[in-house]
Amino acid sequence: MIDKDRIPKAILPLLEAMLQGREDEINFPPPVFDATKGEVINFDIEKESLTNKFPVLRTE
């Protein structure tokens, strides 16, 4: 499943084209993003760049 609310809108058409109707076969963003509190920040198709943010988590 693609979480359309958590990814840049520009990446959605590319994912849909690559997956060709199999969007339910993947998790994007991947589940590890939830565990690490990751976030997709930016996607630049011209530069072929995807920027993500992962905070440093402290354990007590």
How does pLDDT run across 4-35, given as a tens digit for each residue? 888 888 888 888 898 888 888 888 888 888 88
Which amino acid is it at 11?
A: I
* pTM listed for this prediction: 0.62
Contacts 24+ apart (CB under 8 A), 4-8: 6/33, 6/39, 6/40, 7/40, 7/43, 8/40, 8/42, 8/43
**8 A C-beta contact, residue 33 and residue 2:** no
Q: What would you report as the CA-atom Rg of the chain, rounded to the nearest whole angstrom? A: 13
**Where exactly are the structural domains of the chain?**
9-53
